[in-house]
Each structure stands twice: as C-alpha cells, then as structure tokens.
Amino acid sequence: MPELIPQLIQWTGADSLLRVECAPEVMEEIRLRVLAGYKSLPKTGAGVGGLLLGERAGSVVRVLGSVTLPCAYTFGPGFALTPHEKSEGRELVREQAPLEAVGWYFSRTRGDLSLLDADAALGRDLFPQFTPLTLVMKPAPDAPVKAALYAPGAAGELIRTAERELSLAPPPQAPQLALVLAPKPVRLPLETLPALPPMEPEDESAYGALPGSVTPRSWTRLITAVAVLAVAFAVFEAQSIWLNETPVQPTSAAR
C-alpha cells in the first residue's frame, strides 16, 4: 500500500475500504467554485459540478485535480444535466490523461448532504465502468462549506464515509514594511571645515543700482538737480521784481 503523503488530506475513516487522500489546493478550488455558483443567483443560488481527477493504486485513491462539468441549467438552478450534457461529461471522463477521473462532485443549495437516487443515477451515467467517488457539498452565506464523501463499498454501493467543513481561506497577510531610519548627522570640528573664499565687491555698472539703493553717483545727480532748481528760482524772482518796478513821473519844472 502506498505511504500517506503528508501534504494530502485523508478523508475516509478507518472503517472504510478505501483510503481517500485529497490535495488541499484542489479542495480550495472546488470550494471557491461552489461559492461562486451559490452567489450567482439571488436567494436560491445555483448548483455546480465537476470531475475529481487523480490516481488509483489498490485501495488508495488520491484526488490531485478537478475539472468543471458544463451545465446549462435546463431544469432549474440545481445541478442536473441533459442527455447531451451527460454525453459530454462521459467524454471528459475519458480525456483526462495523464490523470484519470476517479469521481465527481456537485453542490446543493437546499436540503442536506444526503445522496438522492437522481444523484446516484447521474454518477452511473458519467462512470459506466466503475462506481466513482461522489462528493456532495452544501454552501452557506458567511460560513464554511459542508461536504460529505461517498465511497464505493464491497458490493459497489456508495457509502457515506466522512464529513468535513471547508473553512474560509485566511486572508493574505499584508507585507510588513521595513522601517528605514535616517542616518545620524556627522558633526565635523571647525578646523576641518573648508574656509569660504572672501567676497569681492560687485561692479554695479554691469547691471545698474538696485531700486531704492543710494550710491555716490546718485548723490551727485541729486545735488546738481537741486542747484539748477535754485538758480532757476533766483532768476525767476529777479525777473519778477524788474517787471513790477514803478516808472518815475516827470516834474513840473521840466514842463
């Protein structure tokens, strides 16, 4: 008998004729499909189904993959296939090399995890050569997905062997941000600091004096302007006196 692979989940109990082992990532993919179908229709939800892929070695069955079975929901929101869809499903069962189809799964949005006669009949239509593993799943809002596994017994009948709750996947952890500290400032002694070059006076003739500044040239211009104004004012006053002077009247002796 093959040894148990640690990363696989063992589904069946000690009293089962088969030892069923499932890859955790495959169960997570199926759980997400079941929840997507449940949320696709308000109030009722839609059932989904697919094939369980893996390998068989004696009494050990390993589920290592899955594939979706197409369903047009001709008969309502439950997972029920038309004759044409069943024929397509049998083709999928034969085309899964290098793995093989070892069973199938479906979800039910109402009722419990019991296997109905119609469910068993659909399994026989898909797997006419042998009795397949059958995984019944039932989703619920904001709760783990419940699942029951049915495995073939000694006479080929399906026996309910184990139940599980597929819990919600934990949210991914946010990446931790590394704290980057600024380097401490380095204080150099005064004698090690380079001396600054002496500042040279700038030539104002290159760009003119700044607004509001007083330079020797501006003082000279200001004094000259004041002197010109003073001379002009003196000339103006002298001219006014000369023009307003009273003329001399002739005396009587002169007449």
* pLDDT, position 215: 57
- Residues 74-103: pLDDT tens digits? 999 999 999 999 999 999 999 988 999 999
**CA 110/CA 78 separation, integer angstroms:** 9
Smallest Cα–Cα separation from 61: which of 69, 52, 72, 70?
Answer: 52
Q: Which two tokens mark 126?
A: 């898909």
pTM: 0.64
Q: Which helix (H) or strand (E) holds 137?
A: strand 133-138
**Weakest-pLDDT range from 61-70, 89-98, 102-111, 232-241:** 232-241
**CA 4/CA 10 separation, integer angstroms:** 8
Higher pLDDT, 61 or 167: 61
As a residue count, the chain comes to: 255
* Pairing status of strand 133-138 against strand 100-107: parallel
Amino acid residing at 42: P
**CA 59/CA 18 separation, integer angstroms:** 5
* pLDDT bucket at 166, cuts 50 / 70 / 90: confident
- Residues 203-236: pLDDT tens digits? 555 545 555 555 556 667 777 777 777 766 666 6
Of the chain, the end-to-end C-alpha distance in Å amounts to 173
Mean pLDDT, the chain, whole residue set: 78
- 9-166, superfamily in CATH? Cytidine Deaminase, domain 2 (3.40.140.10)
The most confident of the ranges 2-16, 134-148, 154-168, 190-204 is 134-148
pLDDT > 90 in the chain, percent:
45
Helix axes 83-94, 117-126, angle to 10 degrees: 50
**CA 27/CA 22 separation, integer angstroms:** 7
